[in-house]
């Protein structure tokens, strides 16, 4: 199982702050994204937005980054703090 979390505008668009996903590991962030979209095709427009950023275990990564069993994968819009 891996834990998936969403933030900010994406969280509002999906009306979800996250979910648990049963997916064979190791995989990639992109695999996680595709697996979610298979069960939630209505999220396509929001979760496939190429501007989205992602993190694995609280480190920002690219879509090709590896995901291991038990990891937390986060998807969120470009950050706007400061």
Partner 1 sequence: MSVSDQHDLVSVQTHDFDVAFEYAQLRADNAQDGAIVFFSGLVRDFNQGQDVTGLFLEHYPAMTQKALTGIVKKAKARWPINRVRLIHRVGQLHLSDQIVFVGVSSSHREAAFDACHFVMDYLKKQAPFWKKETTHKGDNWVQTLEKDQKALDKWQKDD
Binding region for partner 1 (CB under 8 A):
5, 7-9, 51, 55, 58-60, 72, 74, 76-82
CA atoms within 13 A on the CB side of 23: 28
Taking the complex as a whole, the smallest distance from the CB of residue 38 to partner 1 amounts, in Å, to 25
Q: Does residue 34 sit in helix, strand or coil?
A: helix
CB 74, min distance to partner 1, A: 6
User: Which sign does the torsion angle of CA 71, 28, 42, 53 carry?
Assistant: positive
Q: How far is the CB of 76 from partner 1 (least distance, A)?
A: 6
Closer by beta carbon to partner 1, 38 or else 80: 80
Q: Are 74 and 5 in contact (CB under 8 A)?
A: yes
């Amino acid at each position: 199982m891996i834990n998936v979390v969403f933030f900010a505008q994406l969280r509002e668009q999906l009306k979800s702050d996250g979910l648990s996903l049963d997916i064979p590991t190791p995989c990639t962030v992109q695999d996680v994204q595709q697996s979610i979209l298979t069960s939630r095709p209505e999220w396509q427009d929001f979760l496939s937005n190429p501007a989205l950023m992602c993190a694995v275990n609280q480190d920002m990564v690219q879509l090709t980054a590896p995901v291991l069993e038990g990891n937390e994968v986060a998807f969120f819009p470009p950050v706007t703090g400061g």
